[in-house]
Each structure stands twice: as C-alpha cells, then as structure tokens.
Structure 1
Amino acid sequence: MAWVTKRKSASGSIRYQGRYRDPHGEKRTAGTFSTSREALKSAMKAEGKVADGTWIDPRGGAITFREYAEDVWLPSRHLEVSTRAGYSSYLRNHFVPFFGAMPLARIMPSTVQDWVSGAAARGLSPRSVAKYHVMLHSVFARAVRDRLIAFNPCEDTELPKVVTRRVRTLTPEEFAGVLAEIPDRFKPLVMTAIETGLRWGELVALRPRHVDFLRRTITVEETIVEVSRRDSPTGERMIVKPYPKDDEPRTLRVSQGLLDVLAARIAALGLARDDLLFPSRETAGGQPLSRATFNTRHWRPAVQRAGVDFDLRMHDLRHAHASWLLAGGADLKAVMERMGHSQIMTTQQYLHTLPEAQDEALAAFERIRTR
C-alpha cells in the first residue's frame, strides 16, 4: 500500500515524499511534494501501474544501449554459433558506435531514423539496413518487456526501399565453362556442390564416412561454421557442428560419375573415414577450407576466365541445382528434401527458371494454338 514520509528540506520547510513498492518488493519514491495529499496521489498512481503491469523502472532507462545489448540482450538469446557471432559483429560495427553511450530512455524514433539515414548515406545497402533494423528492433523489444522503456523506438521507422534483383540462373553450359577453369584440386568440390546443392558449411564438412558407395548416397550429418575469432564464443574460427541447419541429417542420391570422382580423390589423398573430403591442403587430416579464401583465390578468377557475364557466387550453384531439378521435371517435394528445407515456401525462393524457359513456354503455347 502506498504511503507518505515527511522530510525537512535544507531551507527548513516541510516536504512530503510519496512511497510505494515496485514489482520486486523494493521501496520506491514517486516524487517529493509540498503537500501530503499530492505525495500520496502520486504514490498511488505508481502503485496502480505496478498492479496492472504498466510500471516502468525509472532507473532502468538510464542503462546505456551498449550495456543492455551486450550484457543482457545478447546473452539471453538462444542462437546458433554463426548467428551469435554475426550479432556480435553487428553490434560492434554498426550499433555501438552510434547508440553505445546513449541511455535507453533517451533513444527516440527520430534517433533510430538518424541511424538509418546515416547507414544508407555510408553506402549500406537497403537490404542490409532492413536486416540490421530487425535486430535493433529486437533489442528494444526486449527492453520494453523488461519494463526499462515504455515503447520501442524502432516502430514505424522509414526504411530505404529494397528492390528485389532478378536472379540469373546458371545454365549447364555456363557451369561447364566455369568447371573447366577451376583448378583440378577443387573440381571434385565444385562437382559435388552442383549435384547435391549443399550449403557451403555442409559441403566442406563432408568426410569419406558420409559417402555410401553401395547405395550411391551422400549423407549430410555435419556443418562447419566459419566465424571471426573476435566474435567466436569458443575463440575458434572454424566450428564443427554435429548437424546441419535444420538439425536433422538428410541423405541424397548421387550419380555414379560423382562417386567415381570422390573414390579417386579418397584413394589419391589416402583419406581416412573421418578426414575431410575437401580440406584446405591436399593432405589427409587437413583443416577445413575457408570460404573467403576459396572465393578470392579460386572461384572468382575461374568465373572471370570463363566469361560468365553476371555476378556468380559459389552459393548460386545451390540455386542452379534446384532450378535444374525443377526444369528436368523433378517433384517439388523431392527438391525440398534435397535442399534440406522444412517448408516448401522456402524451396520456392530458390527455384528460378533457366533462360530458355520463356522459349519453351511459347513453343508449348504455339503447339496448342495450332493443333
């Protein structure tokens, strides 16, 4: 129950302080007034907010953004290693330099809008701004739930428009040209990527024991996450996780041609069952291959030499795998299973038509019109 205490000011006048208990039972002050009635009214108002769950800790908003984000918000999240490392990097590079020393209660919607405008002016893409804003919104949403601030300043932020680029699908002929330019030691890696559609982390985590030559399958049981040592919770740059992204191993049928290539590689390098199939060095027991190193030294130069006229990423082989399957008549559910997706909606985002699809569609239309 709210109450009032009497105090004498430095000038000798009598002042009245409204008092109440917060949700944790701690004594709080609702302000100091010249009359007992005003003090009690203020204390009862604060007590009512405690009762209906709308009370905000007046001292909580004084915590800085950096303190809250790094010491409260991030540790409370249940995240994969790569996601946690990414969030740590975003905080360090994008948010702490701008919001870090600001008390949470002082960050207004206009403050967030200033950050968005500044990020766009510095050349950050609209897609990246939108992605980082989602994370920022999550930080403040947690602060609202913790009763530190009354509202989320990320609500109704005007974000730069994200223009969806038209995805160009790699054709089989273009892939053959790129493969011809890939150094021989990496050809098995690229051939496995196009035939399985594996994510990079799943690809470089493959070991001989994952290949079943009798059943002609490859089983995805592990993934390797590459993070900055500075943001890694373990201090390691390459982290092996026991299961892939959806936490459930999956088995893919592959061609005899690819199996022959992998068998020759295993024999040539003398790989044991638990060695990596595609290590950074061509030796048994080698370390995981870095995506950045492979892209810079081998993939991009090969794409350039092949004369591919669009920005082709290694990850686009995954898109091509799904698109080729669909163009060849594969069932959408089968494509979903090969891609390791839990929802067909996710798979549909990877399915892009080949350049000649429009010609084939028009030819089909003409066949019906002229029959």
Structure 2
Amino acid sequence: MSTFKRARGACPKCGREVSARVSDKRKEVDVTCAGCGDAFALPVDPDWWISYSDERGRPRVKRIGPSARLAAEAEQAIRADRLRGELKIGRRGPSLTLVEALGRYSAEISVRVKPKPYVDRINCLRRIIGRIGDLRLDQLDESTFEEYRTRRLREGTMPGTVATELARIKALLGWCVRQKLLASRPAIKVVQPDNGRLRFLTREEAGRLLAGAEQINQTLRDYIELLLYTGLRRSEGLSLRWAWVDLERRAIDLPAEACKSGHGRTVPLAAPVVEMLRRRRSEVPAERVFFLDGKPMTDCMFEYGFGKARKLAGLGADVTLHTLRHTCASWLVQAGVDLFTVGQVLGHRNPMVTKRYAHLAPEHLLSAVDRLSPVTPGPAGGEKASGCYQDVTGKKLIRFPIEKVGHF
C-alpha cells in the first residue's frame, strides 16, 4: 500500500508513452525513455493516488485529490480497516447483496419451516427485493423501508399486507445480524393495523354471496359454504380429501400437514355442510373434494370466482375469502359460544388470537342491553339503610346508601 502522484507524458524524441510515480511534493521528475534512452523531465500531476489490495486480494488504485493530508488519512484508514479484519474486530467481510443473503437464509430455514409457509415467505421476500432492488446489505437504512412503505400504501396495498412484508424483511435482516453478515439491522417500523373491528358478513350478505356463487358454478358455492360454516382456512378447504371426512361423526379430521399451525385438529360439521358433502361425494368420486371438469380446483380459480360472486352480491373489496373465517367465528360468538370453544373450532393454538373475535355486531349488543329491567325507585324518607361491596377476602370496599341505588 502506498500513496503517490503520477507523472505521465510522451518522449519528445521517439513519442513513446512514459510514466512515473512520485511520493513527495516535486512538481517535475526526471525520467529516461525505455525506447530510445533519451532523458527528459515530466510534469507531475497535482492529485494524490493510493494503491491497495481489497478483501479478495485484488489490486486497487483510487484518486484522493490534491491534499496530501487526505491522502495520508486514507492510507491510515485502510491500514486500520485491514488490521481490524485480521484481528476480527468490528469487521464482517465484504457485504452481501439482498439476493445473496436471501439464498443463504432460504437454505437455513428450509429445514425447519413447513413447505407452504416456507414458499410463501421466500416468494414474499423475492417480491420485496424486486421492488427495492438488489442492494448491498450495508446500503440499507431506515429511509429505504419508509419509502417502500409509503409507495406500497399509495399503490392501494392493504396496511396489513404492508406490515407483513416489512416483518418478513425485518426477520431476514435480523437473521443476517445473527449470522454476522450485517453489523446492525436498520430500524424498520412495522405498523400493525387495528384489527379490533373485523369485517364479517351478516346472514343476509352471506345469502347474497352464496346466490352469486351459484350463478357461476356449484363447486364455488359449495366451497364458500364450507368455509362459512366451518371456519376453515382457504388452504385447508382447498386441500380437503375425502379420506379426512367422516360424515357419520359429522367431522373433518385435518392432519398436521394440512394445518397452518402444524397440529392436526377435528372440525365439527354443521347440518348444511353435511348435506352438501353427501351430495358432492355422490357426484365427485375422487380423492379431492373440490373438482371441476375433472381437474382439482386451484387457489387462483377460487380467488377469481370469488371476486365475481362478490360483485354479483354487491359486496365491497373488503370482503375476501378469509372474511368467511371471521364470519364463522363471529356467528359462533353471537350464538353464545365461549371463546375457548371458538378457538378449538378455528384451530388457534394461542387464546389471544381468538380474543380478536370477541367483538359483536351493534345489533347484538343492543339486544343484550335491552334485557336489563328498569330501575324501581326506593321509598322516599325514613331511615337510611346502607350496605357495602365486599371482595373475596371480606374487606369492605365501597359504602353506599341502599335507598339511592334502587333495585334491578
């Protein structure tokens, strides 16, 4: 490694190109032509240069400028950087690109993530990288992902989808930090949408949707009816096999490989679904439940058909196939089913996930408060009786006059 200035020119006698390096502040240097042997002086360029080897040992030359001080500082910085690499202090080697990091990440998680979630996660990351660009890891900062979030939301992408995408890239970069491929992960703010109020269908809306689906084809109507009354995920309904269906017990025994949680479960069947499945079994004697024209239905076919049925039913874009799962849970809660049982039907491993379905329609809340009887006023005057609330330990908490409270 060295710093130097360049002197370059043509031999005045034979015209041969001659060059030299100068490591001091001279403005001219005496040179001898290798062709004719003539000696002459060459002017020295005012800019300083530095020559060094990169991490892979390849020679590099970089122009610094006319400042000798900056050239000396650049040389010291490269020497310090090389020393840190030799001592393994604060150096991670050459920075990978996002595509290279994704290749390593996918190889590592493929052995511990189920095939379907694995494919979804990797495809999501590929789409993100396609929009951001194959940047080096050390080029990423907070503004990169803020711009990505803003652009996606302006495109009309749902906030929940954007949050999922940012969580995926955040997990990838966190893995890079743990693997010492990245010094630190840039701050990525994942804003989860407020799901306190979930979209679910009323009975009238569900009837319109089923009628619209029947206009397209019976298979689509049966698929929607299954999700509506069982709360199955779209992937679980799509992959449903007759071997898992027991119509005598009125149950579907989903194996672990068909469930998102990786744990099998038994799904009870309502009477309309049992009737529909009996009909389909007589009409479609195949391994899969949902066939159309001799071929298994695909997710894209159902998605396309559902969009048309939704339009025929006069429903908005906020109604998706997953809305049917929300609807099943909401109807169960409105019917008085406890949250623990609802979670078992839906296959939730975490009770906190089921809690989001505890909301009720405003009409249902009104019918609940209408059950309260009116207050009967207490007698006026006379001796004032008093009482108090007590906790389970018997400790008095609040004293109040009974006559002013009345009776329910």
Length-normalised TM-score, structure 2 = 0.64
User: What does residue 121 of structure 2 align with?
Assistant: 87
User: What does residue 353 of structure 1 align with?
Assistant: 360
**1:118-267 residue pairs with structure 2 within 5 A?**
118-153=151-186, 155=187, 157=188, 162=193, 164=195, 166-183=197-214, 185-186=218-219, 187-221=221-255, 242-267=257-282
Residue number among 62, 72, 91 corresponding to 1:56 in the alignment:
91
Q: 1:111 to 1:360 in 2, by over 3 A?
A: same
Is 1:296 aligned to 2:327, yes or no?
no
SS of equivalent to 2:253: strand
Q: 1:369 to 1:279 in 2, by over 3 A?
A: farther
SS of equivalent to 2:258: coil
> Unpaired runs of 5+ in structure 1?
1-6, 14-25, 28-32, 223-241
**1:6-45 residue pairs with structure 2 within 5 A?**
none
Question: Is the CA contact (8 Å cut-off) linking 1:126 and 1:161 kept in structure 2?
Answer: yes
Distance between the aligned counterparts of 1:158 and 1:216, measured in 2? 46
Higher relative contact order (CA 8 A, sep 6+): 1
Distance between the aligned counterparts of 1:166 and 1:129, measured in 2? 19
Distance between the aligned counterparts of 1:9 and 1:44, measured in 2? 16
SS of equivalent to 1:367: coil
Length-normalised TM-score, structure 1 = 0.70
**1:320-335 residue pairs with structure 2 within 5 A?**
320-335=327-342
Question: Is the CA contact (8 Å cut-off) linking 2:125 and 2:168 kept in structure 1?
Answer: no
Residue number among 85, 108, 112 corresponding to 2:141 in the alignment:
108
Q: CA deviation at 1:266?
A: 1.1
Give the residue type in structure 1 aligned to 2:365.
Q
Give the residue type in structure 2 aligned to 1:168.
R
Give the residue type in structure 2 aligned to 1:207.
R
Q: Which has the higher strand share?
A: 2
CA RMSD of aligned residues (A): 4.0
Distance between the aligned counterparts of 2:255 and 2:311, measured in 1? 33
SS of equivalent to 1:252: strand
Residue number among 94, 105, 108 corresponding to 1:73 in the alignment:
105
Q: 1:185 to 1:344 in 2, by over 3 A?
A: same
Q: 1:117 to 1:325 in 2, by over 3 A?
A: closer
Question: Is the CA contact (8 Å cut-off) linking 2:198 and 2:326 kept in structure 1?
Answer: no
Q: State the number of aligned residues.
A: 316
Q: Percent identity?
A: 23
User: What does residue 288 of structure 2 align with?
Assistant: 276
SS of equivalent to 2:321: coil
User: What does residue 238 of structure 1 align with?
Assistant: none
User: What does residue 16 of structure 1 align with?
Assistant: none
> Unpaired runs of 5+ in structure 2?
5-20, 24-55, 58-70, 377-407
Q: CA deviation at 1:91?
A: 3.6
Q: 1:108 to 1:169 in 2, by over 3 A?
A: closer
Give the residue type in structure 2 aligned to 1:244.
C
Give the residue type in structure 2 aligned to 1:363.
D
Question: Is the CA contact (8 Å cut-off) linking 1:126 and 1:162 kept in structure 2?
Answer: yes
Q: 1:175 to 1:47 in 2, by over 3 A?
A: closer
